[in-house]
Structure 1
Amino acid sequence: MVVDDQNSVRLALAYELQRSGVTEVIQAADAESAVALFQQHRPDLVLLDIRLPGKSGYWVARRIRESENGDWTPIIFLSGLDNDLDVWQGIESGGDDYLVKPVKPIVLMAKLRAMQRLLDMRRRLDSMSAELRLANQRLNHMVEIDALTGLTNRRGLERLLHSEIHAARREQQPLTLMLCDIDFFKSYNDNLGHLAGDECLREVARLLRDVCVRPRDIATRYGGEEFALVLPNTPRSGAMTFARALCSVLHKRAIAHPQSAASPFVTLSGGITTCIPDENTDEESLIMRADHALYAAKAEGRNRFFSFEMQMDTIEQLRMR
């Protein structure tokens, strides 16, 4: 884009630019139309006269920079005076270079090539940055996935829990965390072997993933035979209903556990905590409360989920139905 209030100057510059291979030259004679044309066409280069009727070229440069949103368009100022102050003001307002009118064609071509190299370099850097961000996202995803079960691991749980605590606090919505253990899993491994134990963990992981049907519900492997479920927008009663349904689905899977003292099949013990987070709520406090509830479920005989907030477990709920 060429911005100059003199028609003869614009035509001469447009002619030289087209001779050099530029396919389209946009022309503007004043500051306001220059800004409007820039926002409409987004040219690759701006040749900008300093002295314009009304607002100056410096004003145009500042408006261009404000409208780029992270992009960069080379701006070369044009002036009839070779003045150090003009150069300084041009750079301060967002310009990249300076040419004295009348512009010699060979100098113009040299400036164009230099700016094209800078623009190409910027685009390559942007492309490399985008590829690097994507690679980092993939790496973070890999780091947060448990290799055995495919669930999010403890590191990923802590990050997601941190995010959901802030969201629940902001939206004033209840957040539920469940910690659950496979009952008597050491006996399962000792009796059937570690390969069977690994398959049992994968089967339970698939079940937990299946019951997390809402987009933000997440099942994770907390460690060993322990799993965690994060359930946003889930009140206390809904959490206990979820736990009861989970126990029912696991019972129907009927995964044999010949050494369990709780059932002939694989069962879970779980601790539930639910709250609307305040400024004192963090990941550690939620996990600690869920862990205490898990301990209570085990103390009550296992094969159940317990909630201190409701002072009730899934076995009691089943009896009440």
Structure 2
Amino acid sequence: MKILLVDDVQMERMQLAIRLKQLGHIVEMADSGHEALRLYPEFKPDLVLLDITMPEMDGFEVSSQIRELYPEWIPIIFLSSHDAPEIIASAIDAGGDDYLIKPVDKLVLRAKLQAMQRIAFMRNQLNKKTADLARLNQELEKLAHEDGLTKVRNRRDVDKKLQEMVSVHGRHKVALTVILLDVDFFKLYNDNYGHIQGDQCLIKIASALNNLFVRNGEVVGRYGGEEFVVLVGHSDIYQAELHAERIKTAISSLFISHEHSQVSECVTVSQGVVSIQPTGNESIDELYHMADKALYQAKRQGRNRYVMYDPSMECDSLNE
């Protein structure tokens, strides 16, 4: 174990340190309470052996401060030449876990250390399991919000984020942008290049989008299948067009070969773009509906382009 030995009497401190080292322990010594408190966070002991009677700051005060400053429980054994019951009781009240009478008997010391070593082992095992559990929880939390294939946000997480953005932007009366994009002729890509290559295509597109939208208030997610969604906060209609143009350029620049596309030799995307200053009461389904209408027009007009949503599109669909 790593043992912090605190005693203001040099001879007693040195003698006990020699015994502890002979038993195979690592020992750090302090000659005062102040020194002990300074060493404690650096040394991170498994056990503290603490003399009660010291000038300036006695062992009871040192123990109390350790318990107050460091919530992780570490055993503290008090050392004292006094064996009065009330002193032992005071030691336990001050945060101590055991009590040794000086001069310390060799057999008693060995037995106490064996018991404390078992406790230290169990504590280390518990800490390890706690850390493993925390890491697993982090991974589960990530999986709950992440699309398994592309590693961008999943649909549920994007929906939640969009609802939050509608509320915040409505309250502050600022515009936001929703872009729904679809990979052009992706079925033909899958049919001719295979599903594994199709998955790689989606991963590359997701990565490109993630690299484009990295600032706070920018969200990239997989809407479903070969469709992705991009949310951009504080973005009016002019900025929305710039974002859509950036996406078009970035996807074309990937140069993913698509010999069976009817619009390009490489993979392209069609985009439906909505820029709106929400009231805060809009549903996410309304915004997706508008983006989908614009996306439909982009495909209808020849694909490999973006179309801004216009309310007249609703009339067009009724006429059709």
Instruction: Identify if the C-alpha distance between structure 1 residues 131 and 124 changes in structure 2 by more than 3 Å, giving closer, same or farther.
Output: same
Q: Provide TM-score, normalisation by structure 1.
A: 0.68
1:259-309 deviation digits (Å, cap 9, x = unpaired):
x9xxxx96524243567x99x69xxx573453143144157565534367x
Specify whether residues 269 and 99 from structure 1 end up closer, same or farther in structure 2 by C-alpha distance, changes over 3 A only: same
**Which residue of structure 2 lines up, in the alignment, with residue 221 of structure 1?**
222
* d(CA) in 1 for partners of 2:69, 2:62: 11
The answer on whether the counterparts of 2:298 and 2:307 sit within 8 Å (CA) in structure 1 is no
Deviation at 1:48, TM superposition (A): 0.9
> d(CA) in 2 for partners of 1:266 and 1:25?
66
Please give the alpha-carbon distance, in whole angstroms, between the structure 2 residues aligned to 1:293 and 1:226.
Answer: 15
Q: Does structure 2 conserve the Cα–Cα contact (< 8 Å) formed by 1:39 and 1:67? A: no
What are the equivalent positions in structure 2 for 1:18-167 lying under 5 Å apart?
A: 18-28=21-31, 30-39=32-41, 41-68=43-70, 71-142=72-143, 144-147=145-148, 149=150, 151-158=152-159
* Length, aligned pairs only: 293
Deviation at 1:76, TM superposition (A): 0.7
Q: State the alpha-carbon separation in 1 of the partners of residues 45 and 177 from structure 2.
A: 52
**CA RMSD for the aligned pairs?**
4.5
Residue aligning to 1:268? 270
Deviation track 1:165-219 (CA, whole Å, cap 9, x = no partner) reads: 99999xx998644333457x7xx75xx5974595667635533431432445553
Distance 2:63 2:163 in 1: 43
2-structure distance, mates of 1:164, 1:274: 11
Map 1:197-208; keep pairs closer than 5 Å: 203=201, 206-208=204-206
Distance, in Å, in 2 between the alignment partners of 1:114 and 1:175 is: 63
Structure 1: gaps (5+ residues): 314-321
SS state at 1:48 partner: strand
Structure 1 residues 274 and 51: alpha-carbon distance in aligned structure 2, compared to 1, 3 A threshold: farther
C-alpha distance in 1, partners of 2:101/2:21?
Answer: 20
Contact 1:182 1:226 in 2 (8 A): yes
Matching residue of 1:291: 288
State yes or no: 1:13 paired with 2:16.
yes
Match of 2:317 in 1: none
Q: Tell me, in whole angstroms, the C-alpha distance in 1 between the residues paired with 2:46 and 2:23.
A: 14
TM-score (norm 2): 0.68
- Cα gap change, 1:137 to 1:74, in 2 (>3 Å): same
